[in-house]
A and B are shown apart, each in its own frame.
Chain A
């Protein structure tokens, strides 16, 4: 398939999204939902267009992406390392699992009063909350993946002269990768949700800030436009992730 047919195929592939948007349009034209809470798609798109053409909007997007990206990055790096370490060294597993198990089910926005004491209301506290919320799927994936590392592979590496550290790096980490990356996909999606919810509560800027203040002001056209932007960014990030994961894991097929 070259570019023309490839484009058509891509269009076909993502047709269900068009269908979803059509459903939205019908919902408001046939008054299935009060336009007071869900404005017609057309007005959302037109205020979305106005919004996207301001520099301020991109400033907000940029700061959100920074927070989300940092939180996610920390979650993947620290969460992945923690999961692998927990599988490789029992003491780490014992010491870290109660902490992880207690913090994961807490609503992160409820922790804002506590993180505010320590980090204030700036980027750091939002990054921390996103990190905490995204970490567990990565940790669970890395942990299960590392535990699934085949014993004979570890032994092979050792008998080929690899040190224990080297074996961890060369055998356990790649073995954990498929499940770790699968956890990272969940984390990626969660990071967008957490980013919006943490910015909604207190913020100077960001997409969650926009959603919060547009919503409180009853400007639902613009608010849903921002929601759509978040969804589009999330979708795009997910597709990039999938392409990346396929590349990293190409040895599997």
Chain B
């Protein structure tokens, strides 16, 4: 790998030696069928370490989802490069699992069939597929709902199912696009705790897109704050909380950190609002 790239990447964040994802000078222009092209991402460089939990925080419309979709390989990279384990991203793959805000469950498949889907694409024996599907259904607490269709589930259950589907194929990287954004406050909190528990049990590289500062601070080891459109990386904040502490969110250190980041984001959020008006 080009060492200059590595250097620059290292300049962006810590843990360069353990870098798994390297985003280098990425820009992206969105071209709608009608209307002017929009610069969505402008010259973003970012390095993410192996098994790191990174939150990508920014106001709505700042291009953080676009960045995630490019990482997922769903959108082509035009300017700049993204490498995962030194290989350029060229299209989607099961090494990068994704969880969407609106679940994206196959509505014509039952919970079990949804979770099985990715497993069926791997060459596993049938029994093993079934065992693993059950394991992850149990893990997310959907036991008893294996034969339900998504339309019969609540929002939280749908997202559990989506998470189980993604985790079942054991991706090295977990891309999460505001996964709890569509859930109510209580469910969201529960899901956050569960996500942390799952991650603690088997750590993966997680890139977690959110516009909720508290969520970012609560979950991530590192928060990358993005600016309003065009999206740039404005700041990267390292966090070092003990997330096993049940009173963490009430601790002064936590609240201060949230406030500090919220100050950073607020300006951008206002800009984003102004830009829309």
A touching B, CB within 8 angstroms: yes
A interface residues with partner B (beta carbon < 8 Å): 150, 152-153, 155-162, 166, 170-171, 174, 177, 250-253
Contact B149 A156 (CB under 8 A): no
User: How many angstroms from the CA of A157 to the CA of B109 in the assembled complex?
Assistant: 13
Contact A251 B117 (CB under 8 A): no
Interface of B is mostly: loop
Across the interface, A155 reaches (CB within 8 A) one of B74, B94, B149, B169, namely: B74
15 contacts between A and B (CB under 8 A): A155-B74, A155-B98, A155-B100, A156-B98, A156-B100, A156-B165, A158-B74, A159-B74, A159-B94, A160-B169, A161-B118, A166-B121, A171-B106, A174-B108, A253-B151
Which residue on B lies nearest to A164, using beta carbons? Answer: B91
Contact with A along B73-93 (1 / 0, CB 8 A): 110000000000000000111
Residues of A within 8 Å of B106, CB to CB, are: 153, 156-157, 170-171, 174
Residues of B within 8 Å of A162, CB to CB, are: 117, 121
Q: A152-B100, A166-B121 are in contact. Are A158 and B107 (CB under 8 A)?
A: no
Residues of B within 8 Å of A156, CB to CB, are: 98, 100, 104, 106, 162, 165
Tell me, rounded to whole Å, the shortest Cβ–Cβ distance linking A150 to chain B.
7
B51 an interface residue at 8 Å Cβ cutoff?
no
Tell me, rounded to whole Å, the shortest Cβ–Cβ distance linking A71 to chain B.
28
Residues of A within 8 Å of B162, CB to CB, are: 156
Contact A152 B102 (CB under 8 A): yes
With A159-B72, A161-B122 known, 17 other A-B pairs at CB within 8 A are A152-B100, A155-B74, A155-B104, A156-B106, A156-B162, A158-B91, A159-B73, A159-B97, A159-B98, A160-B169, A162-B121, A174-B106, A250-B149, A251-B149, A251-B151, A252-B107, A253-B151
Across the interface, B107 reaches (CB within 8 A) one of A157, A161, A251, namely: A251
From 27 to 71 in chain B, residues with beta carbon under 8 angstroms from any chain A beta carbon are: 69
Which residue on A lies nearest to B122, using beta carbons? Answer: A161
Residues of A within 8 Å of B169, CB to CB, are: 160-161
B222 an interface residue at 8 Å Cβ cutoff?
no
Contact A160 B165 (CB under 8 A): yes
User: How many angstroms from the CA of A253 to the CA of B74 in the assembled complex?
Assistant: 30
Contact A153 B104 (CB under 8 A): yes
Residues of B within 8 Å of A177, CB to CB, are: 108
User: How many angstroms from the CA of A153 to the CA of B109 in the assembled complex?
Assistant: 12
Contact B92 A251 (CB under 8 A): no
